A and B are shown apart, each in its own frame.
Chain A
């Protein structure tokens, strides 16, 4: 048995998820592997439909019943893939928690926020109604909801988007989970609120020594909030490594394209935003080789032949590309979009 101090909290090995869509079966996630130690933070970046949310939901065991999960997800060495739902219920909200994108719809409009924050405490810690209420007030206070003792009996519609996201964070943290998954936690919020919420999450992760997986399509958010990052495209990880390393060296043409496509402050008025040409491929009909081959400026015949292997380009920095020699020599910006 491995030493618990060095053993990863969560180890994902060759994860695959096949979803049944209206257009037929789609391999939403292919060969995703990563490990996360206690207290480590990992960012998942990619466009909509790249498989980042599906990866998160498979860690939570919340994929639709028809989804087929292959590979392995281990929490402290315990296999979670294909775990019966009843067993998973004991982990969700207890050892693994999740914050979702839409605070406006993530809360039940019919129940008070106090009830909703108390629910995981009653479920997992078997608190009495009174204990759970006291704890819920403390949690709401910690996440910065003003006047929690008074507002605990209010309903979600009486709060703003930012306040509701604070409530969902309180809910996710109630049982002091080991792993927090934040799926685009600030995408639906005003820019001014985004920073506050991200700071709050960062503080809480630090304070409680949690591990965190932060999902975002915003490179800025990833750069500031996580130690390691994975870039996903078409259901596969195309680049992964320490955040500053990935930002500094950018091995994959897709990562470079994403970086160039950021809107920039100070750009001349009327300048068109840079885009990656082409569209995201449908998961139901991905190309046989590299998923990015259709849109890649460096594409060669061998890219289309088979899925490129992961190439190590630096310490713990890997890129799924056969043309890293060219892409990394060219550096960011040198490639034409």
Chain B
């Protein structure tokens, strides 16, 4: 393993520790006592105190933090205050929905964005370019939940091709599950794709102005060949950077979209747990989201080195 990867792994761990401290402190600073919340407004003070002790909420901050981290490391996330079931399995059953949703919307984003971005760059300042770029301008301005509702009105209410909400699960095969995630992932993808398409277009246009593109043309390669074999790989670096950043937006978007479509995913779990002051669930869910974002950006960093030979050599 190269020094490059090792250094990135250390950065990754440091970022995760930092994120855990912030998450812990912020949630601890939230108003509202979890024990009081669970017992109801008219519970006796003694009973609330007893539950506080039982949940370990009377311990000093540092002790509670270290206990949580220890639990994260050994895989014991504790029990939900509200459901009493292990937080780990609670999250796991939600991820079955949210991970495929995230992957599907990322795939849709990348497919739409790359094809639109490359097409518009190759037809710079022509009618197609102007048309597609105007569409992306609209796409950027769309709130995803509003677009989600429009999609529901069209495909679920008017055309009745897809259901307006709910999740079919994976028990009956892949298609019913994918079908119920189709509208949510499209609504998540549209805004992201519009942004990424513009990034792709400007990245490709910038590379097209490079000297080596002219050199490649001088060898007798056609415009299309130059685009595919010389331009795209060079343009991928900024595109991937933005993709990594967008992944965080996408996860944040699932919280809203899962609520619009009544999907029992991670986003909805977070939303409900916040409403219930089920802080142990919230804390672990947010930590998981943070970890996913950090890891995706780590993967992007490592991919740079695969795409661009200049990065590897510097750090070997």
List the interface of chain A (C-beta within 8 A of B).
Answer: 60, 62, 85-86, 89-94, 97-98, 100, 102, 105-111, 119-120, 123-124, 155, 157-158, 168, 171-172
CA distance A93 to B220 in the complex (A): 5
Q: Are A92 and B211 in contact (CB under 8 A)?
A: no
- A-B pairs with the 10 shortest C-beta distances? A93-B219, A93-B220, A105-B211, A92-B220, A108-B212, A120-B219, A155-B309, A98-B218, A106-B215, A110-B233
B307 within 8 A of A: yes
List the interface of chain B (C-beta within 8 A of A).
Answer: 210-212, 214-223, 230, 233-234, 307-310, 313
Q: Are A158 and B313 in contact (CB under 8 A)?
A: yes
Q: Are B230 and A171 in contact (CB under 8 A)?
A: no
Q: Are B217 and A92 in contact (CB under 8 A)?
A: yes
Taking CB atoms, residues of chain A closer than 8 Å to B309 are 109-110, 155, 157
Taking CB atoms, residues of chain B closer than 8 Å to A108 are 212, 215-216, 230, 234
Taking CB atoms, residues of chain B closer than 8 Å to A158 are 313
Q: Are A100 and B220 in contact (CB under 8 A)?
A: no
Q: Are A92 and B219 in contact (CB under 8 A)?
A: yes
CA distance A168 to B218 in the complex (A): 11
Q: Are B220 and A124 in contact (CB under 8 A)?
A: yes
Q: Are B220 and A123 in contact (CB under 8 A)?
A: yes
CA distance A171 to B214 in the complex (A): 13
Taking CB atoms, residues of chain A closer than 8 Å to B308 are 109-110
Q: Tell me, rounded to whole Å, the shortest Cβ–Cβ distance linking B199 to chain A.
A: 19
Q: Are A120 and B220 in contact (CB under 8 A)?
A: yes
CA distance A157 to B214 in the complex (A): 18
Contact of A97 among B210, B214, B218, B233 (CB under 8 A): B218
Taking CB atoms, residues of chain A closer than 8 Å to B217 are 62, 92
Q: Are A89 and B218 in contact (CB under 8 A)?
A: no
Main secondary structure of the interface of B (DSSP, over half): helix
Q: Are B211 and A119 in contact (CB under 8 A)?
A: no
Contact of A105 among B210, B216, B220 (CB under 8 A): B210
Q: Apart from A93-B218, A110-B309, A155-B313, what 14 extra A-B contacts exist at CB < 8 Å?
A: A62-B217, A86-B222, A92-B218, A93-B221, A97-B218, A100-B211, A102-B211, A106-B211, A106-B214, A107-B215, A109-B234, A119-B216, A123-B221, A157-B313
CA distance A119 to B228 in the complex (A): 14
| Chain A residue at minimal CB-CB distance from B219 | A93
Q: Are A94 and B310 in contact (CB under 8 A)?
A: no
Interface-centre pick from B212, B222, B234, B307 (highest chain A CB count, 10 A): B212
CA distance A110 to B214 in the complex (A): 15
| Chain B residue at minimal CB-CB distance from A119 | B219
Contact of B220 among A90, A102, A109, A155 (CB under 8 A): A90
**A119-B221, A157-B313 are contacts. A111–B230 as well, Cβ < 8 Å?**
yes
Q: Are B230 and A60 in contact (CB under 8 A)?
A: no
Residue pairs across A and B with Cβ atoms less than 8 A apart, 17 shown, are: A62-B217, A93-B221, A100-B214, A100-B218, A105-B210, A106-B211, A107-B215, A108-B212, A108-B216, A108-B230, A109-B234, A110-B234, A110-B307, A110-B308, A111-B230, A119-B216, A157-B313
Q: Are A89 and B221 in contact (CB under 8 A)?
A: yes
